[in-house]
Amino acid sequence: MSLYSFIKQRYDRVNDFFIETLMSEIKTPYDRIGGESAVRKLCQTFYQVMCDTPQTQLIRAMHPEEIGLSEEKLYLFLTGWLGGPPIYTDKYGHPRLRKRHMPFPIGIEERDQWLYCMAQALKSMGLDELFSQQLMGSFVQTADFMRNKPNEE
């Protein structure tokens, strides 16, 4: 074996080791939030707030009377969205969220009601403040992307 190959082989192994170590220390948002039970709790609180808050009845009324399946779908979706297993896609295919929301007229008021529920649900989780704000920032972007009513800013 040439000196070059010898050094390269050693270097590659060290490199693999560093990459492996780094990857094992990078946690997904799914891990940081607390995995399955935490995402379930977030979705449960989200819909509980939506059902119990008089100011969010506009969007509550868009959902089926029986809210259980909506909660389950949000749980499946958020799991993958946060970097956990892609269980929504496995069951329902590509989320195409904007398209799936088209049957519901979503404007500024609807968006803000949805975000209110999510803000309350997130607050109840007692997460690290910066992480919680980062999550909320992503929800704000996604919720705004869902708007489909014409003639709104």
Q: For binding to ligand HEM (CB under 6 A), which residues are involved?
A: 59, 62-64, 69-70, 73-74, 77, 92, 97, 100-101, 104, 106, 110-111, 114, 139, 142-143, 146
Which CB, 15 or 89, lies closer to ligand HEM? 89
What's the DSSP call for residue 66?
S
| Alpha-helix residue ranges (DSSP H) falling in the chain | 3-25, 29-33, 35-52, 57-60, 68-81, 87-92, 97-101, 108-123, 129-145
- Contact between 147 and 112 (Cβ < 8 Å): no
Q: For the CB of residue 67, give the shortest distance to ligand HEM in the complex, in Å.
A: 8
- Contact between 62 and 104 (Cβ < 8 Å): yes
Q: For the CB of residue 139, give the shortest distance to ligand HEM in the complex, in Å.
A: 6
Q: For the CB of residue 127, give the shortest distance to ligand HEM in the complex, in Å.
A: 17
Which CB, 34 or 116, lies closer to ligand HEM? 116
